[in-house]
Amino acid sequence: MGTSVGIYVFPDVEELDFVGPWEVLRCWEHAWAGDGTEVFLFADEEGVVQCAKGLRVLPDHRTAELPRLDVLVYPGGPGTRGQLGDPARRAWLRAMAETGTLMTSVCTGALVLADAGLLDGLGATTHWAALDRLAELGHDVSVRTGARFVDAGPVVTAAGVTAGIDMALHLVSRLHSPERASEVARYIEHS
């Protein structure tokens, strides 16, 4: 059985926070189809999602109709601000984590994971301008200033935009092998 990776998109999501990981993970899916990886975008509502800088994307699935996820990629951006404190979002994220989904974030997506209690007692990072907020939202979060990404076992967090690419390559390494991650990195650089 393969690995199912869902990348969540929402109004005012930061484009590079999800497009960087999407590029890496889709490259893995397409160039190494035998690995059985499936990568897709999903959103709460059907239809086009307008991102922070104006890019418009059409997700593959709605949140309510998601197939089983092995990995959730939760990007950041201005749209995360309105998600903090939402009891339904907290419950949804906790339920995903409880079923064994590997929870990952890029940039301020970590704030939403912290708000749901998923970073309590773990090491984590986020965009440099949100590090203090990350500590405030969670309980005993070990904020890793200067880290590109932090793999805390059940949760992997990445700092701002380009760190999401590093995190995605780390996911390929973790979920398959360091050799496959190197191959994907080379493929992206030379395609």
Q: What is the pLDDT of residues 31-87, one digit of tens each?
A: 999 999 999 999 999 999 999 999 999 999 999 999 889 999 999 999 999 999 999
pLDDT band of residue 161 (cuts 50, 70, 90) is confident
Contacts of 181 (CB under 8 A, 6+ apart): 169, 170, 172, 173
- Where in the sequence is the domain holding 165, given as residue range(s)? 3-190
Lowest mean per-residue pLDDT among 1-5, 116-120, 142-146, 161-165: 1-5
pLDDT of residue 67: 87
| Amino acid in the structure at residue 154 | P
Number of H helices, E strands in the chain: 6, 11
H/E element, 164:
helix 163-175
pLDDT of residue 190: 81
From 9, 107, 163, 184, the catalytic residue = 107
pLDDT of residue 138: 87
pTM of full prediction above 0.95: yes
Residues of the chain above pLDDT 90, percent: 95
107 is catalytic: yes
pLDDT band of residue 24 (cuts 50, 70, 90) is very high
| Amino acid in the structure at residue 99 | T
Averaged confidence pLDDT in the chain: 96
pLDDT tens figures, 105-119 = 999 999 999 999 999
Q: Is residue 17 within 8 Å of 33, Cβ to Cβ?
A: no
85: left (phi over 0), alpha (psi -120 to 50) or beta: left
What's 39's domain CATH number? Answer: 3.40.50.880
pLDDT of residue 1: 63
Q: How many domains does the chain have?
A: 1
pLDDT of residue 2: 86
CB atoms under 10 Å from CB of 186, counted, come to 10
Alpha carbons 189 and 191: distance in angstroms, whole number: 6
Direct distance between the N- and C-terminal alpha carbons of the chain, in angstroms, rounded to an integer = 28
